[in-house]
Amino acid sequence: MIRFSCKCGHKFELPDEEAGGMVQCDKCGLLNDIPLHQDLAAITEDGTYKLDAPPVLDNPEAAAELIYVYTRGARDLFGDEKDMRTTDEELNEAKGEMIPIDEPVRANIPRYDPETGELIDELDLASPRKYAPDAASIPMAKRTLAYATGTAHREPSMVRGLPRMFTPPNLAVMGAIFLMHVFLWPLQFVVSAGIFFLGIGIPPVLLALASHYGNVIEDMGPFEKDDFPRPLRDIEIYGDIWMPFCNVFGSLLICYFPLMPLAIVLATQENLPPAVPIFLMAIVAGLGTFIFPAILLTLIGSGTPVNLRPDRVMKVIGRCGAAYFYTTVVWIAAGFTYLWGFVGSSIAVAAAMNFTPGNHWYLRWRILVPMILVAIVLTHYFCYCVAMLYRKHHDEFPWVLQRHIPTTAKRVVAPPNRPPRKPRPIHIKPR
């Protein structure tokens, strides 16, 4: 049985197997260590451990010296300073003479580390040229990404884009557009035969063709992709079909719709020479052809018809420079071949049903099919040129709704040397 007391006086009687454990006092709640049998003799009745007698110092002077050294503070028990070394201020006040020490200056004095006390040995340094490594023998990291070499890191341009159009992915896209044209021929044939309800399939195909060319400009211009998008892209009704169609068809309508009322007006004039209507129609058509790339670039690039203001369109043409005239020439070639191939194939289909007399050489299929292929390639190249104009000059275009321009008024701070304003006198009317 283990018997011991808590500090509050409560007595514990515990079995021997609980020695070395802990027990909580029921009286004061203190947690007590249960002593071992050999520790019971060192515990007093109040629960504390007995201490041995303090050591007796034989030399009182040594004890006083220890007390003097190890007590805290800069002064001893009598209030005197412990550090009795002469300070620099006291030496300056004494105004004594410097006594030179006649000791020879020894060379090669060993030096020791002030912290560790280790001897510091001097090391002989070799010439850097003697052990300099050969620059050719130093291993250097090599490029691991294949697309970072060759012509891939060059910036795209109108000249470099022409051969890139004939890569397999781009050829597959242009081949799909050609098949869409081929799909139009049987529809035109049955419509020419009198089955008019099948003509409802022609407008969706034309809409898909126009939206595809708008997607080409958007992907390779604002989105900065290097290949043509697949037809109808992600088949999103608004973003991939309707909006690109509106941009392309709206540009054609703005540039070439004035030809129709002009032709009607000229047809009503009987006294005009034949050359005058042709001249006026050519001027209007040429003006529309010249501004068509800028109109198309503005609608697709800026995303809002607000930027179609004439002065902004002319500034777009001016910012593009000579590249714009090159794009216009490409559009003239693409538009001419497309008009020839598309209208000519429609006439050839109608001629097959004997609706038009004769069969001229320029309406033969061996001419029309290659013409449509050339028109598809040139139109894709024209879209690529418009996209390159956007990439290189879109930061210079005077378009609105492109970036945030703060319009808050700046706070005006008075200059520091300005004299304070005199307070106004306050007049109080007597009641």
Cβ distance 210 to 245 under 8 Å? yes
Per-residue pLDDT of the chain (431 residues; tens, 9 = 90+): 888 888 888 888 888 888 888 888 888 888 888 888 877 877 877 777 777 666 666 777 777 777 777 777 777 767 777 776 777 777 778 776 777 767 666 667 777 787 777 877 777 777 766 667 777 777 776 666 655 555 454 567 788 888 888 999 999 999 999 999 999 888 888 887 778 887 888 899 999 999 999 999 999 999 988 899 999 888 899 999 999 999 999 999 999 998 888 888 877 777 778 788 888 888 989 999 999 999 999 999 998 899 999 999 999 999 999 999 999 999 999 999 999 988 888 888 877 766 554 467 778 888 889 999 999 999 999 999 999 999 999 889 999 887 766 666 555 555 555 555 555 555 555 55
Cβ distance 2 to 35 under 8 Å? yes
> Alpha helix (H) ranges present in 76-116?
88-94
**What is the C-alpha to C-alpha distance for residues 382 and 377, in angstroms, rounded to an integer?**
9
Distance of CA 269 to the CA centre of its chain: 61
- Assigned token pair, 268: 């009503």
Q: How is 311-361 classified by DSSP, letter by letter?
A: HHHHHHHHHHTHHHHHHHHHHHHHHHHHHHHHHHHHHHHHHHTT-S----G
- Helix, strand and coil content of the chain, in percent to the nearest 5, comes to 50, 5, 40
pLDDT tens for 199-227 read 888 899 999 999 999 999 999 999 988 89
Q: Give whole-number Cα distances, 197 to 225, 244, 349, 422, in Å.
A: 40, 27, 17, 89
- Assigned token pair, 231: 């037809």
Query: Left (φ > 0), alpha (ψ -120 to 50) or beta: where does 180 sit?
Result: alpha
pLDDT tens for 264-306 read 887 777 777 878 888 888 898 999 999 999 999 999 999 889 9
Of the CA atoms within 13 Å of residue 243, those in its CB half-sphere come to 18
